[in-house]
Structures are given as structure tokens and as C-alpha cells.
Structure 1
Amino acid sequence: ASWGQQDSPHLIWIWGTQGQWPLPVCDQLAPSVPLQYGLYSSFMGCFVYCLLGTAKDVTLGPTAIMSLLVSSYAFHQPVYAVLLAFLSGCIQLAMGLLRLGFLLDFISCPVIKGFTSAASITISFNQVKNILGLQGIPRQFFLRIGETRAGDAVLGLSCLAALAGLRAMKSHLPQAVPTEPLAVRISHLIVWICATARNALVVLFAGLVAYSFQVMGSQPFRLTGSIPQGLPPFRPPRFSLAAPNGTVPFPSMVQDMGVGLAVVPLMGLLETVAIAKAFASQNGYRIDPDQELLALGVANVLGSFVSSYPITGSFGRWVAGGGLSPTGALVLLSLAYLTSVFCYIPKAALAAVIISAVVPMFDAGIFRTLWRVKRLDLVPLCVTFLLCFWEVQYGIVAGVLVSGLLLLYSIARPPIRVSFSPALVLVLPAFQSSLHFPAVEHLRDSVCSRALAAASPARSVLLDCSHVSSIDYTAVLGLAELLQELHRHGLSLAFCGLQDPVLQVLLSADLEGFQHFPSWEEAGEALGCSPRMG
């Protein structure tokens, strides 16, 4: 591989046969952020959300999708990851105070589904090399399949099968009936607990197997390794980074993280609100997106003081059971007393747990559903899905832009119905509450072409505006030109059903020949004709 600088003086890019990756100059090619930072990220959000959250079923903590994003923008550096949590929290907090939660309404369901489906595939493939016991292979692990370690492969596949079986067992577990015998109810409870706590059971079993081999003097598995014991110190995040060639200042670190400062807080909020809305709909309560922003922002800001990287809501953590405060307390107890036994956990078992958690996020049925319901929505879905394999932020932005363009097209080209009577053309545009500049040219062309194409005596054109609640100046100019053009061809233009705000705008514009009526029936009588739908 060759070394060189690109875009930023604080990043070194490695070019090789398997692609290129950015690393900070002080990074000694570390494979990932140290494992203890996952635990540091798992307790603060639990306590904060208890006080500030609006969804009783949501838990905050590190998730697979957020970890994927952080790995893209923190360059495997804990300092970058913790600072990203602090800055993301500040951005989310500011958005909550400014009540910008409505921005999530512009991210459509196909974009979300495309992102989560692509993320599930990406995360799963990144973990396959751990299932096979391969090490030091960032990409294209399939070229090194021959180096698979038999012990890791057997353990990893066994853990995957056990997790799949326990998941299926829980989904097919019948509802407990109070009238059943006590032994039946106890066995039902035991099965439910085992299926619900399947991740912990599988990891515990794999750890015991690895420990047994360690005692016998052999170790066929790649282990997690030692994790520092004790609680993280409570201190503010570092706003500079020591490097061999000097100190990387705060502005340069912000520049290095780039669009991650927009993507990470937005996706954290999106994942939290999506999960909260799902549970709120299921359990019959409502959430406040702005309050969710405040809760998530405070959790990330305070979390950065205990070395947490960005956190968000998680389906898997809720499904695993446990309330917010008990979950946080268990993590604190683990950090204080149990980290010494974590070193015996095989990486293959952890990879199996991660794969089992993210595979259900791939929603294959959404493609069939959209093909059946509305095929045009497949465009933002596929754009987001495919581009997320290249860069996550490009996929999300492209999906939002495509969804926005489809929305703008529907606004700019509304369907227009025309009804003819002996002396009247009734125009019924399907405006979506407003007549703004993108649609005015389409309206002019449609009215003129259809009114002038009919072979009949001179007639009036009646424009039904009963569904128009707002209008802009460009649209007013377009209507004035439409009045003049119809007048040149011996036709008059009248408006009916104008709402007060729109009527006031048109009266203020003082359009020549402007006339309006409360309804199209009254207009027909005043114009000496009877409009008839056709």
C-alpha cells in the first residue's frame, strides 16, 4: 500500500488493492474504537430518557446503524467519536429548542426503508469475517475464505442457528392462560425468558465454552480481549487531538468530520422518532418530536462527558427486555465488576448476535408492497438502497432529493378536469391547498388549449378554486396573463369558490376583468349558462 494525504492534513489515506480508507495520522491502524466505549455509551441515555422522553417503550444506547455511521466519521478514534456525540447532542438540542422536529416529515418511508435495508446488509457482511475467524481484513473477505478458522466458524454458525431458533420459538409461543396448571405456566415463563434473553444466553454459553478451552490450555477461538475495569471519568470531551506532527485543533477536527455533523444527529433523531412512533401507535399514546429532540440532545451531550459515542433509540434493546433505569444500572454494575470476564467472549459469538439483530431490518416485502401500491415510490427506495452501499450520507441525501422532486412534480403538474356546457368551460384543477409558481404555467397551457380547442360559440371559462387556500405573486401574474390571453380570443374568465385569503390577494392585485362568484352554480346562472360535469 502507498501513503498520501488527501483533502485534509489530519487524515492519511491508504491506497491498496482493496480500496482506500482515511485514518488520522496518530491512528496506529486500530481496527475499531476500543470495546469499553460501547459500554460507556449504554447507560447515560437510559437515565436521561426516563426524565425527558415521551415514549415509554424507547431505550437509548448504541445501535448497529449508529455505530456504522460513527465508524465512517470518527475514523476509529475515540476522541473523534466522543466529540461527535457532544456536537451531535448540541445540534439536536438546538433543533429541539427551535422546534424543528417537523423536518422529519420530509424524510419519506421509502427512504427510511432503503437506508435500513442497506445498513442491515452492510453490517451483516462486515461481521461475516468475524464469524469465519478472519482478522485484519477490512473488505473483500471472500478472497481469504481459505484462511477460515474451523473453531470460530463452527461456533459462529452454531450461535446464529441458536439465535434463529430462539427467535422463532418466541414468535410461535402461545399466550399463557391463567387457568392452566402451575407447572405449565412456569415452563411457559422459562421458555419466554430464554427466548427474550437469547442474546445474553448465547454470549454467556459461548464465553463458558471459550473459558473451558482456555483452562485446558488451548484456544480455538478469537476472543474479545481484555476490557478496562471501572467507570469512565466524568469530564468534558477533548476539543483537540495530539498527533505526531503536532496538535489537531478543534476547527480541523470539525472539518474532518464534515457532513457527519449533519448526518449523525439527523439519523439518530430519525431512528429514535421512527421507533417511538411505532410503539406509540401500537400502545395508544402520542409522542412529541421536539421533546424527543431535547431528550436525545441532552443524552448525547451528557453522554460525551462519560466517553460515550452518539446514541439513539433501539428496537433490539427494548425487545431484549428491561426498563430504562434497570438497564442503565446493569451496565454500570458490569463496568464496575464484570469486565474481567468479558475477555473470554468469542468474537464469532458477538458477530452472530449483531447479524441476528440487523437481519430483520432488511424488509424484502417493501419492494413487493410498493410495486403493488405505488410503483413510483420504488424510485427513492432503490436510489437510497443502492447509494448507501457507496456512502451512507449520499444514499440518504439522494433519497430525500428524489422524494422531494417527486413531491414537487405532483405540485407543479396537478391533474386538471374540464367540463363543457353550451356556453361555459368549467375547469376543476386538483390543487393541493395552494396555487404556487411551479403550477401556474401548466394551468395556463391546460386552460387555453382545452378552451380554445372546442368548436363552439364564444363562451366563458370558470375556474373552480375552492381547494386553493394560498397563492403567490407569480401565480397572480400568471392568472393576469391568462385573463388577457382568453380575452384576445373572445373568452372571459371567472373564478368561483375563492377562499378569503386568496380573494384578498386577487382583489389587491386589481386584475383587469376580474370577476368571482361564491359557487359554480351561481356563476352559471350569472353567466347565463348551466355548467354540467362531463
Structure 2
Amino acid sequence: MSQVKDEDDIYHEKLPNVCDAVKKSAKNCCTPATAKKFLPIINWLPKYEWKFLIQDFVAGLTVGLTAIPQAIAYGTIAGLNPQYGLYSAFMGCFIYIIFGTCKDVTVGPTAIMALMVQTNVAGSADYAVLLCFLSGIVILLMGILNLGVLVQFISIPVTTGFTMAAAITIASGQVNNLFGIPSSSNEFIESWVNFFTHLNKIRRNDAILGVVTLIVLILMRKVKDIPCSCKMLTQYISLSRNALAVIMGIILCYTLSDDNLLAFSVSGEIVPGIPSFKLPPFHTAVNGTYVGFGEMVQELGASLASIPLISVLESIAVAKAFSMGQIVNASQEMIALGIANIMSSFVSSMPITGSFTRTAINNASGVKTTLGGAFTGIVVLMTLAFLTKTFYYIPKATLAAIIIAAMLFMVEYERIGEIWHSKKLDMVPFLVTLLVCVFWTLEYGMVCGMGVNMLFILYKSARPKIVITTEKLQKDIEIAVVDVHENLTYSSAEYLKSKVVKYVATYRQSIEMVVIRGEQIYTIDSTVALNILGLKKDLAALNCELVCWNWQISSAGVVCRLHHDARSMFKFSKTLQEIVTGEIQESTTTIQSDCNSTTIPL
């Protein structure tokens, strides 16, 4: 009973301390500094100037005119009705105003997200909306847990290969629409097979409109570079090229069409009206068959990991590209993106992320704060409320030309050259990512590229740079000096041992001592220590002595704690001559004495 009482007393003594710690943590979470960290709007809103409003309005309007045709096109790429692309284009803009850290970033649907969603629609748009909600939760948790560092494990060659593969796949999927050929696939191989096997179904009107629009869009990118007095005018003409292409396409389609016959293939009717705010679908029906939440999650499968990862990667890459010298808080960007996806799912959105194209337009338009996103969202909402009947006449060929033009400049051609010139071996993960993404899926392409990179890292750790040279001292004594230029880990322990033994066995008639320099060996593990002791025995069988010269104390201590007699191996001197002549006998004794105390930790 007394024992139980003692335990109760201990419990009641510790309980106030725990409660105090919880109260302190809760108090820290409610400080102004914490609020400013998680709500960046608190930082810039009090400093907002009225003169910024016009610039934010112009930038938001310009981005909105680009976002509308892109959203319709990306909704089609995702295998959804066009209005779902528009649903995805406005909520994220409003959420990012509150939680985002980069003034230029515009959140919404992107070509890569649309392509990855397309494989998960499974006959119902509810899958895309649920995927948006679940992806948002995953991204938000990653941000709360400060897992922004995970993005650093994806190398530039892998991201470059992924981006290039996505651009190739998306552009290939639009070739059929560019020429008016019916197609139900956006995959690389299937799209080109369909194109070449249905050349007889090319629609003349669509082909002419599509090719001409593509050429004009490419040329209009250069309008801003024309030297003239109206530099601002040429810049906005260039920035608004997608909107101008859509307007011209609508006018042509409406003018040349009869009551019962359209001059061009169109994307289809867009459901008018602002989407209702409702819970994401946790069950659905496919062909009249009820599908529960568990079955939907099972159907989404690996995309629940791949889409949040790619979404984070794309958004943070965009933020870094336009951070203008500021450090990007990756975890806060994750929180903003996660909340944006969660809230967007309540208005029937597919997964969203940072858009490079629209962010570049936002930056070029002179946006001052994230408030510019509000005007972009308003433009999209007005389109849904009043202009859906007008957008019914957007030709598929026009949208295809817009997408292909964007994909042509999405590939970082100069980055590929930099990878080739800097280190040709990095072309391997780039090519693996590119080929697997194009000929298999984007998700597995990214995984394979990361896997190849990890293999390179593991191989490098298993094969550190070790240089063995032979030096002759006192005319008749030859020693092998082993220079280890990198840290030793368990993966490289056996490699060091086998290389030294093989070298000594080759010159066994002359080498009497092996000296391993340890200035650069800052830390080792038990596997390395055991292999060092094993190396000593192997060399003894070859009538050769092992000396560890000037090792870091922390590394020497790992070996000494395994075997106390190993202290005699460690010598600390200025020259090899002192080791051979025994001039450091006195210092060795001192070191052994220090080993028993504190110099080499035991």
C-alpha cells in the first residue's frame, strides 16, 4: 500500500509540472509573433498603401484573363467538365492572400496537376474533389510538422526531367485537338498513335485555327521586346496573349457558325453559376453503383502521396523563383497550400498548386502584395456567373494552341545544358526521370529518379576517396600511408579494410607499417571501429603494423571503447619520422593516460 501511495504522490507532484508546461506551450502559441508567422497578412496589411491598390488590381485582372482559358483547358486535361477548372481557379487565390508569403505566387490549377488527376477521375468528378481535400490535409500536416526540408531531397536533374516529361506528355495530348481529331487520351504514346492513325479525320477549320493561333501566341511573346515609345502597351499585349486568343476564337466560332452547325469543335457547355459551398464528397456513384469512402481512397491509391509531393514541389519552386532575394519559408508555404486545397475542395475543386506561368505574369504586371489574388478570383467568379454561355464557343483548337505554347516554354532548356556541362553523370537521373515519366507515369518517374539519386549517394558513401601511397623512411623502412578524404560510415568500412589489405598483400615483401591519417575522419560508427580492429589483425598476419595517425579524438574513442588495447594504435605527432623512430614514446604514454581520463572519450 505504501508503494502505491508513493507512486500516487509522485504522480500528483508531476501533474502540476505537466500542466504548467502545457499552459506555457499554449501561451506561446497565442503570442503576436506566432500569429504573424502563421498569418503573414498581419505583417503587410497594416503597411498597405492606397497606391498599391491600382497595381494589384491591374496585375490581378491580367492574371485573371490568363487564368480563365487555362482553367478551362486544364479542367479538360483532367478529364473533367470545363467548369471544374474554373472552380479550381478562384478559392486558392483568396486563401493564399491570408497565409501566403510570396506576393507574386498565384495558386490554382496547373497542367501537371491536371495530368496527374486525369488518371484518378475514374468516371466521376467526385474523385478529383476528394483528392483535393485529402491532398490538402497531407500538405497541411507536412507544413505543421516543418517537413519543408523534404523538398531538398529532390535534386534539380530529377525536377528538370519531371517538368520536361510533363510538358512533352501534355503537349502531345493536345496535338489531336489542335487538328480537330477526336481523341479520348492524354497519354504520350496513345496520343501520337491516335494522331497518325486518324490523319484522314483532320478538320480543316480546326487545323488552320489551331496552327495559326499557336504561331501567333509564340510571336506575341516577343511583342514586349519591340523597341517603341509605348513599352507598357506592348508589355500588356504580350501578357494578355492567351485572353486575346480566346476572344478571337470565340468571335470566329460564333460568327462562322450556323444555328445547327459549329465551325469548330468546342469544349462543351460550361455549367453557369457560382459553385455551392459544401462538404467534399466522401462517397459517390459510378455508373449507378455506390462507392464508399474506403473504396474511393483505395482507388486513389499512390496519388494520395504523389500529388501532395508534386504540388508542394511545384509551389515552392515557383515561390523560390520569384522570392527576389528573400528566404522562402517552405513550411509556411505548405500550410498555405494545404489550407488552399482543403477550402477549394468545398467548392468542387481539383488539386491546385502554384502556377509558374500565372506567377510570372503577376510579377511582370507589377503586383505589390498578395491582394492581387483577390482580383484574379473576382474575375473568375464573374466569368462563372455571367460569361459561361459565351465561353461555350471557345474552340478546342484555340485551347490546344494555348496549352502547347505554354508547354514549349515550360521546359528549362538552359538547365539541361548546365547539367551536362557541370557533371555529365547527373544526366542519368535526369534521363531516368524523363523516360519513366513519358513512357510510364509521372508518379513512378519521380520515384525512379529519386531512387537513382539515392543510389548515387549510397555508392559514394560506400566508396569514399581513399589514396594509398608508399613512403620510404630511414632508407630501409617502407610504410603505406592511407589518406581518407571523406568521413567513414558503416557502408565504407569493408571497402577501406579490403583496399588496404589488398595493397599490403601486393607489396608484402617491403611494407612494414600502414599509417591511416585521421584528420578528416570526424566521426565513425561501431561497424567502422570493428573493421579497424579486424584490419589490425589482418595486417599482423602479414607481418605489418597498423598505426592510426592524428585521428580526431571522438573517432579514436569509438575504437578504444570497443577494445582498450587499441589505444596503442593511435599516435599523435607532427611527422611520420617520429612514429618510425619512436620519438613519440613519451607522448604515447601521455595519450594512453589521457585515454583513461578524458582525452579519448570512453
Q: What range is the shorter-chain TM-score in?
A: 0.7 to 0.9
Distance 1:520-1:129 versus aligned 2 partners, 3 A rule: farther
- Whether contact under 8 Å (1:493, 1:514) holds in the other structure is no
Cα distance in 2 between the residues matched to 1:515 and 1:270: 52
- Residue 76 (structure 1) shift: 5.0
* 1:142 maps to which of 173, 184, 196: 196
2:429 maps to which of 347, 356, 380: 380
Taking the aligned partners of 1:75 and 1:244, their CA distance within structure 2 comes to 10
Give the Cα separation in 1 of the matches to 2:401 and 2:582. Answer: 75
Structure 1 residue ranges without an equivalent (≥5): 1-29, 175-183
**Residue from 151, 156, 159 that aligns with 2:205:** 151
Q: CA offset at residue 54 of structure 1?
A: 2.8
Q: Does 1:335 align with 2:384?
A: yes
| Deviation of the 1:127 alpha carbon | 0.6
Q: Which amino acid aligns with 1:149?
A: R
Matched residue, 1:469: 522
In 2: Cα distance, 1:440 partner to 1:33 partner: 55
Q: Distance between the aligned counterparts of 1:270 and 1:222, measured in 2? A: 35
Aligned residue pairs, count: 487
Q: How does 1:75-224 map to 2 (within 5 A)?
A: 75=122, 77-138=124-185, 139=190, 140-170=194-224, 172-173=225-226, 185=229, 187-214=230-257, 219-224=262-267
Q: Structure 1 residues 237, 166: CA separation in 2 closer, same or farther (over 3 Å shift)?
A: same
How well do the aligned residues superpose, as a CA RMSD in angstroms? 2.5
SS in 1 for 2:334: helix
Residues 145/74 of structure 1: CA separation in 2 closer, same or farther (3 Å cut): same
> Aligned residue for 2:40?
none
* Deviating more after overlay: 120-129 vs 136-145: 136-145
- 1:230-269 matched pairs, under 5 angstroms: 230-244=273-287, 246-269=289-312
What is the CA–CA distance in structure 1 between the aligned matches of 2:344 and 2:553, rounded to whole Å?
Answer: 51
Identity percentage over the alignment?
Answer: 38
In the alignment, structure 2 segments of 5+ residues that lack a partner are 1-76, 366-371, 473-477, 584-602
Q: In structure 2, do the counterparts of structure 1 residues 332 and 168 end up closer, same or farther at CA, with 3 Å as the change threshold?
A: same
Report the 3-state secondary structure (helix = DSSP H, G, I; strand = E; otherwise coil) of the residue aligned with 1:75.
Answer: coil
Whole-Å separation in 1 of the counterparts to 2:427 and 2:231: 43
1:142 alignment partner AA: F
Name the one with the larger strand percent. 1
Task: Give the SS at the match of 2:566.
Answer: coil
Structure 1 counterpart of 2:407, from 348, 353, 358: 358
More displaced 10-residue stretch of structure 1: 112-121 or 313-322: 313-322
Check if 1:49 corresponds to 2:103. Answer: no
* Aligned position for 1:489: 542
TM-score (norm 1): 0.85
- Pairing 1:302–2:352 present: no
1:410 match: 460
How far is the alpha carbon of 1:160 from its aligned partner?
0.3
- Compute the displacement of 1:378 (Å): 1.6
Greater CA drift, 254-263 or 485-494? 485-494
Following TM superposition, the consecutive aligned residue runs of length 4 or more in structure 1 with deviations greater than 6 angstroms are none
Name the CA shift for 1:313/1:232 in 2 (closer, same or farther; >3 Å): same
CA deviation vs aligned residue, 1:309-339 (integer Å, no higher than 9, x gap): 1111111111233632322222222222222
Q: CA separation in 2, counterparts of 1:173 and 1:508?
A: 74
C-alpha separation between the residues in 2 aligned to 1:87 and 1:401?
Answer: 26
Contact 1:163 1:353 in 2 (8 A): yes
Amino acid at match of 2:495: H
| Structure 2 residue aligned with 1:276 | 319
CA contact (8 A) 1:462 1:520 kept: no
Distance 2:251 2:343 in 1: 35
Quickly say closer, same or farther: Cα 1:503–1:190, change in 2 above 3 A.
same
**Equivalent pair of 1:31/1:136 in contact (CA under 8 Å):** no
Distance 1:314 1:443 in 2: 49
Contact 2:547 2:571 in 1 (8 A): no
Structure 1 residue 245: Cα displacement: 5.6
**TM-score normalised over the length of structure 2:** 0.76
Other structure's SS at 1:330 match = helix
3-state SS of 1:362 partner:
coil
Structure number, greater radius of gyration: 2
Preserved contact between residue 171 and residue 407 of structure 2 (Cα < 8 Å): yes
Distance 2:118 2:403 in 1: 16
SS in 2 for 1:470: coil
Q: Confirm or deny: 8 A CA contact 2:504 2:511 kept in the other structure.
A: no
Among 36, 45, 49, the alignment partner of 2:83 is 36
Instruction: Tell me by how many angstroms 1:527 deviates.
Output: 4.0
TM-aligned CA distance change 1:444 to 1:61, over 3 Å: same
Moved more, 381-390 or 135-144: 135-144
Q: Does structure 1 retain, via aligned residues, the 8 Å contact 2:571–2:579?
A: no
- Pick closer, same or farther for the CA change 1:475–1:114 going to 2, 3 Å: same
Asked whether the equivalents of residues 257 and 263 of structure 2 are also in contact (C-alpha less than 8 Å), the reply is: no
Encode CA deviations 1:223-262: one digit per residue, 9 max, x unaligned. 2332122211111101111245642111111111111111
